[in-house]
Amino acid sequence: MNVASRVIDAITQWGKTEVKDEWFFSNFRDSLLSSVDSEGAFLGIDEIVSILLAENDSDILIEIIEILITLARKSETTEMPPILDENWGTIIRKVTSLGDYAISRIDELAKYYRRTTR
């Protein structure tokens, strides 16, 4: 199963649960990291950009950003994947409308790639 499928499954599973486990996405990220190597992480980033762009739930958007940060670190390169690069401006506009916490998380991803969000 590719990274995008796993992320979609996690979001779907999260949506089906009435009692939310605050560690659900943290545990998911740990599981995801253990299943990909650095190349898989790099390629996985581009796989989930479309998921981020299509998502409207602010909590899920922040979790997707956290997944991106996790994959970026695992990829062991500061080269920005091409689909993320192509959509960077759109992602920034979408995330900055979510408030300070979301901005701080996208700022962390931007720093990893030596980019700005402003």
pLDDT in tens, 60-82: 999 999 999 999 999 999 999 99
Residue 37 in any domain: the answer is yes
pLDDT in tens, 9-49: 999 988 887 657 888 898 999 999 889 999 999 999 999 99
Residue 117 in any domain: the answer is no
Count of domains observed in the chain = 1
Q: Is the pLDDT of residue 118 over 90?
A: no
Contact 51, 7 (CB under 8 A): yes
Percent helix, percent strand, percent coil in the chain, to nearest 5: 75, 0, 25
Residue 40 domain boundaries: 3-112
Residue 27 in any domain: the answer is yes
Residue 3's H or E segment, with its range, is helix 3-16
Residue 48 in any domain: the answer is yes
Read off the pTM. Answer: 0.91
Residue 118 in any domain: the answer is no
